[in-house]
Amino acid sequence: MSNNGRTGNKQLVEIPVERWYRALTDRHSWRGYQKRPVEVDKLAGLRETCLSLSGPGARAEISTENLENIFRGIVGSYGAVTGATAYAAFIGNMDDPNVQENLGYMGEGIILEAVALGLSTCWVGGFFRPEAVTANISLAGNETVIAVTPLGYRTATPSLNDRMLKSMAKSRKRKPLTELCSGLPETEWQPWISEALEAARIAPSAVNRQPWRFEVATNAITVSAVVKKSSSRISERLDCGIAMLHLELGAKHAGVEGSWEYLTAPEVARFTLSGEVMPKMI
């Protein structure tokens, strides 16, 4: 990863493609949880995932402490998470020019691993108390807790908060690829491009704003961010980091290997094919 301006190559990590690809469609945001502790072995596995994905610009820690003070809505109980017994804190080094996209990519990997373990999660960027997190987790230098996710077992039925927020954000409604893509016409897309873009299209984003746009070439896909005025404190580039992981998972599932290069705003990063297209994984 580069710390000298907003360009450079992203450090590649080993990811469990099939495991996380299956979790893409199983992942739902959930705010109401049973007060059931997460098993020790699952927490240990998530801590290993945190270590494998963390880098100089973004890291994550798992905690079971101080939950009652961390997840509190800003206005009454609106947006609050209830009943969770563990959480992951996503910590960014604000000196890293690629901190937001790094953190989105890393955080979504941890969330997908949690889903693969049978847990429920939810990206939370506004309705938590950073000072309560830092009471349990030490920060260094210019680090900031940018977002968190509860980890646990969801209630059998959606809570009032879940129903309200899903209704307001229309959280499962996604823009069509025709609205998100430019460049190479869809009629000329190779199968890996279609699979990669479809995986990216269903990525979560703050208030479901879907700020990513994709410029398609024969052997590459460029991700850009559309920045608009928003009440969300979450960066559009973080959302694009989430979409980057989804896109990479879709490409790898289709038998394609590639690499990421960070770019200058409004572009975020470019995924470029490396080598030939391999047979689709089963």
Residue 232 has pLDDT above 60, yes or no: yes
CATH entry 3.40.109.30 includes domain 177-273? yes
Question: For position 160, what pLDDT does the model report?
Answer: 56
pLDDT digits (tens, 9 = 90+) for 79-100: 578 899 999 999 999 999 999 9
Determine how many CB atoms are found less than 10 A away from the CB of residue 34. 15
Give 227's contacts (C-beta < 8 A, 6+ positions apart): 211, 236, 266
Q: What is the CATH number of domain 16-168?
A: 3.40.109.10
DSSP annotation string for 51-103: HHH--SSEEEEEE-S-HHHHS--SSTTTT--BS--EEEEEEEETTSTTHHHHH
Mean pLDDT lowest for which of 17-21, 70-74, 206-210? Answer: 70-74
- 82 against 282, higher pLDDT: 82
Question: For position 3, what pLDDT does the model report?
Answer: 35
Question: For position 166, what pLDDT does the model report?
Answer: 54
Determine how many CB atoms are found less than 10 A away from the CB of residue 138. 9
Residues of the chain with CATH 3.40.109.10: 16-168
pLDDT digits (tens, 9 = 90+) for 183-213: 999 999 999 999 999 999 999 999 899 999 9
Structure tokens at 32: 């109401």
Residues of the chain with CATH 3.40.109.30: 177-273
pLDDT digits (tens, 9 = 90+) for 24-67: 999 999 989 999 999 999 999 999 999 999 988 999 999 999 88
Contact predicate 126/37, CB 8 Å: no
pLDDT digits (tens, 9 = 90+) for 108-117: 999 999 999 9
Q: For residue 230, what pLDDT band results from cuts at 50, 70 and 90? A: low
- 276 against 235, higher pLDDT: 235
- 180 against 77, higher pLDDT: 180
Measured distance CA(110)–CA(55) in Å, rounded = 14
Measured distance CA(150)–CA(139) in Å, rounded = 20
Q: For residue 159, what pLDDT band results from cuts at 50, 70 and 90? A: low
Instruction: Express as a percent the part of the chain with pLDDT over 70.
Output: 85
Q: For residue 249, what pLDDT band results from cuts at 50, 70 and 90? A: very high
pLDDT digits (tens, 9 = 90+) for 117-140: 999 999 998 778 888 999 989 999
- CB burial of 43-69 (b: ≥16 within 10 Å; e: otherwise) equals bebbeebbeebbbebbbbbbbeeebee
Residue 170 has pLDDT above 60, yes or no: no
Residue 254 has pLDDT above 50, yes or no: yes
Measured distance CA(146)–CA(162) in Å, rounded = 22
> What is the rounded average pLDDT for all residues in the chain?
88
Mean pLDDT lowest for which of 7-11, 119-123, 136-140, 240-244? Answer: 7-11
Determine how many CB atoms are found less than 10 A away from the CB of residue 94. 13
- 12 against 70, higher pLDDT: 70
Question: For position 266, what pLDDT does the model report?
Answer: 95
Question: For position 278, what pLDDT does the model report?
Answer: 55
Mean pLDDT lowest for which of 133-137, 160-164, 181-185, 259-263? Answer: 160-164
